[in-house]
Copies of this chain bind each other. A is one copy, B any other.
Amino acid sequence: MNDILPKKPSRIQTRNRRLILDAALEVFSRDGYGGATLDAIAKGAGLSKPNLLYYFDGKTEIYVTLLSQLLETWLDPLIELDAKGDPVEELLNYVRHKLDMALELPLESKLFAGEILQGAPRITAHLTDDLKPLFDRKCKVIQTWIDAGHLAQIDPAHLIFSIWSTTQHYADFGAQTSVLLGTEDPAKRAHAHLEQMFRKLLQPVNQ
């Protein structure tokens, strides 16, 4: 009947695929796609290399699986941006959420950044199919808020870029910030700073 039988994965399968993806995240985010090796991933997962390849078809498949899963988590907070909420608070909440994710999931942020840096050769489809439509939708929501006078006159697209860049900076450039801030915890003032910055930017002038 059904050519494609999904066949729920066994306990061993679930566990090992998880082990592999966890190890792969560490290796890919640290060494980049080109610098990562199956041996390093296998070692990290506590499996042999051929055993790895029993669960995934190859290096690329592991990498793409990781990116796809990650992209979903990554877009979640943007999806939640609610047209019916208070504009300034909705956006500030998005900033907070995004910063928390960067601070808590730096490896994921770095993996994504690394892929985009190299021209997104392996996830361009995801970007155009999933990210772009969502992005366009949310830009329109923001534009509506602006037109209603509830937000300052801002370019919605570039506003989103600024939110992404400032928040992800604390993950992607963590090696730099930790050198520059010394013992000080970056997270400490990051929240306050971004809240201050975006509140000033977003607050409409003649309200």
Taking beta carbons and an 8 Å cutoff, which residues of A are in contact with B? 29-36, 110, 113-114, 116-120, 124, 127-128, 131-132, 135, 152, 154-155, 157-159, 161-162, 164-166, 168-170, 172-173, 175-177, 179-181, 189-190, 192-194, 196-197, 200-201
Contact = CB atoms under 8 A, between A and B. Distances in A.
A149 B48 CA distance: 63
Contacts of A124: 175, 179
A139 to B, nearest CB: 9
Contacts of A164: 169, 173
B192 A155 contact: yes
* Copies in the assembly, this chain: 2
25 contacts: A30-B119, A31-B118, A32-B32, A32-B33, A32-B117, A32-B118, A34-B34, A34-B36, A113-B113, A113-B172, A113-B173, A116-B176, A117-B117, A119-B175, A127-B176, A131-B176, A158-B189, A158-B193, A158-B194, A159-B193, A161-B170, A162-B166, A162-B194, A164-B173, A165-B168
Contacts of A32: 32-35, 114, 117-118
Nearest to A34: B35
Given A118-B30, A166-B161, A173-B165, A155 B189 contact: yes
Contacts of A181: 157
B172 A117 contact: yes
A193 B162 contact: yes
B177 A161 contact: yes
Nearest to A35: B34
Contact of A33 (B35, B131, B170): B35
Nearest to A128: B179
Nearest to A33: B35
A152 B164 CA distance: 23
A113 B117 contact: yes
